[in-house]
Amino acid sequence: MLMSTSSNNTLPIVQRTLTLYIYPIWLIFGIIGCLLNLIVFSRPQLRTTSCCIYFFAASVDHLMTLIIGIGPVLYTLNNPDPQIQSLLFCKLRGYIFQICLMLSRWFVAFACIDRFALTSDKINLRNFAKPKMAYRIIIIIIIFWSIICSHRLIFYEIKGNLCGIINNMAAALYHSVYVIIGAGIFPAIMMTICAYFIHRNLAHKHQRRIRLSLGDYQRNPLDQQVLKILLVQVICYIIFTIPQLCNLVFNTISITIPNRSNEQLIIEAFVAFLAELMLYLFPVTSFYLYTLTSRTFRKESMKFFRSRIGRKNRIIPVIGGATDGYHLEHQKTTTNVCGSPVKISVMEIKQKL
């Protein structure tokens, strides 16, 4: 009994402490990383690649996931929880948040399909890996999950300190099952299958080039770097999603167990919190993983930062009608039309004027 009371008091304190110190770090680094992802994937070299269009869409979705998911949680640390104060907020936040969670996974899954199509020998399949096709599929994915997740708008309710599907057992079971299948099993299977076929297609192409004595053939470096980014996405998705998937399976089983004790409910809530904490690592770490694994991504990031720094340090001379206000203390270096530097001394400037 003493142990039960101790866990009832300790776990909520630990959860609040982790929320106070971990979530702000997740939010700051995640938002910065997502914004940098958007900048890099919108660079001219990358935005014409169909797979990078999926990455761009996933980065927008990750940004929304962090703001909608973590923002209200941090707000409730020192303020009343709007999810249990307003039924409209309870429904809308749950609905939009669930859509965001589903979209990022399926954007990555279709990015895998895109790379598989690109490595295929069949022309019809390669036509799938086109920017125009990527935009269409992104729109279809958004519409599809907006419809599938609409049950949250209908069945979410507020009861005490809870916002969710509480009294409707059938709706709760449907929610758990469709999230397990639609957010966990299907995307993971699709990613794994596509990764296998991509590897097989690349191996077949390599063997064919050897038979044809095309030893001097060089692969497209951009496609290779994009493939690296994709594989990192798949691995991280599986690692960070497994805890949430296990928790959902456990919740689906526990729904059918009546009269659970207060201690069991507190432990389940804490385990769910840890699984969600891990889930946020998927959007938080994306930029930093891309930077570590892809040379092209690093190069495009450095180009952006150099262009920003160069623009700030650039001096644009303004020549007016009078020169009395100019005080030249050092020799100035200017650039002619061809880009070669020309040094002009103070005396030369006075003679010309």
Is 5 domain-assigned? no
Amino acid 220: pLDDT: 58
Is 284 domain-assigned? yes
Contact, 300 vs 43, CB < 8 A? Answer: yes
Pairing of strands 332-335, 341-344: antiparallel
Query: Does 56 or 217 have the greater pLDDT score?
Result: 56
Is 328 domain-assigned? no
Domain extent at residue 127: 17-307
Token couple for 186: 């299907």
pLDDT digits (tens, 9 = 90+) for 65-116: 999 999 999 998 888 888 888 999 999 999 999 999 999 889 989 998 998 8
Amino acid 272: pLDDT: 85
Is 243 domain-assigned? yes
Q: What is the C-alpha separation between 169 and 252, in angstroms, rounded? A: 10
280 has pLDDT over 60: yes
316 has pLDDT over 70: no
Is 348 domain-assigned? no
Is 335 domain-assigned? no
Among the residue ranges 125-129, 148-152, 172-176, 326-330, the one predicted with the least confidence is 326-330
- The chain-wide mean pLDDT, for the chain, equals 79
Most confident of the ranges 179-183, 220-224, 248-252, 322-326: 179-183
Q: Specify the number of domains making up the chain.
A: 1
Count Cβ atoms within 10 A of the Cβ of residue 351 and give its class: 0-12 exposed, 13-18 middle, 19 or more buried: exposed
57 has pLDDT over 90: yes
Dihedral sign for Cα atoms in the order 73, 76, 82, 85: positive
Query: Helix/strand/coil (H, E, C) string of the chain?
Result: CHHHHHHHHHHHHHHHHHHHHHHHHHHHHHHHHHHHHHHHHCCHHHHCCHHHHHHHHHHHHHHHHHHHHHHHHHHCCCCCCHHHHCHHHHHHHHHHHHHHHHHHHHHHHHHHHHHHHHHCCCHHHHCCCCHHHHHHHHHHHHHHHHHHCCHHHHHCEEECCEEECCCCHHHHHHHHHHHHHHHHHHHHHHHHHHHHHHHHHHHHHHHHHHHCCCCCCCCCHHHHHHHHHHHHHHHHHHHHHHHHHHHHHHHHHHHCCCCCCHHHHHHHHHHHHHHHHHHCHHHHCHHHHHHHHCHHHHHHHHHHHHHHHHHHHCCCCCCCCCCCCCCCCCCEEEECCCCCEEEECHHHHHHHC
Amino acid 347: pLDDT: 43
CATH number of domain containing 247: 1.20.1070.10
Amino acid 68: pLDDT: 93
Contact, 145 vs 102, CB < 8 A? Answer: yes
Is 260 domain-assigned? yes
pLDDT digits (tens, 9 = 90+) for 147-190: 999 988 999 988 887 888 877 888 888 888 888 888 888 988 99
Amino acid 338: pLDDT: 36
Count Cβ atoms within 10 A of the Cβ of residue 342 and give its class: 0-12 exposed, 13-18 middle, 19 or more buried: exposed
* Residue (of 336, 272, 324) closest to 11 by Cα position: 272
